[in-house]
Amino acid sequence: ETGVTQSPTHLIKTRGQQVTLRCSSQSGHNTVSWYQQALGQGPQFIFQYYREEENGRGNFPPRFSGLQFPNYSSELNVNALELDDSALYLCASSLGQWNTEAFFGQGTRLTVV
């Protein structure tokens, strides 16, 4: 059974650029959630995908978008990067939506300069 893997582990982008972060969910999981964790803070929910459909969204602007693929892997896309987008981005997969244990990846550290 493979765990949740995220790529890349670290990334540096320039303000105004676009970035794509990737997440491979744990085998058998059909739900992926994305979080932004600023330094010293708790994770902030961005959105969740369940069986390829967006299933809930936090308080993030439309320039944060995502996809879930038939194999349940997922991408987080951020357009027009801002300095405040610098954070650790966490992906979590689960079997089911809101009530089951989520398994987290190790995150992607994004730095916007």
Partner 1 sequence: AQTVTQSQPEMSVQEAETVTLSCTYDTSESNYYLFWYKQPPSRQMILVIRQEAYKQQNATENRFSVNFQKAAKSFSLKISDSQLGDTAMYFCAFIATRFGAGTRLTVKP
Task: State the Cα torsion 35-38-40-43 to the nearest 10°.
Answer: -10
Dist CA 53 CA 27 (whole Å): 18
Of 13-21, 60-68, 70-78, 89-97, the window that binds partner 1 (rule: CB under 8 A) is: 89-97
- The residues in 3-22 that bind partner 1, with binding defined as CB under 8 A, are none
Closer to partner 1 at the Cβ: 16 or 26?
26
Dist CA 42 CA 39 (whole Å): 8
At closest approach, how far in Å is the CB of 99 from partner 1?
5
Answer for the pair 38, 90: CB distance below 8 angstroms, yes or no.
no
Closer to partner 1 at the Cβ: 9 or 79?
9
> Is 113 buried (19+), middle (13-18) or exposed (0-12) by CB count in 10 A?
exposed
- The residues in 18-57 that bind partner 1, with binding defined as CB under 8 A, are 33, 35, 41-45, 48, 56
Closer to partner 1 at the Cβ: 14 or 40?
40
Dihedral sign for Cα atoms in the order 85, 40, 50, 6: positive
Q: Does 72 bind partner 1 (CB under 8 A)?
A: no
**Contacts with partner 1, residue ranges (CB under 8 A):** 33, 35, 41-45, 48, 56, 58, 88, 90, 92, 94, 97-99, 101-107
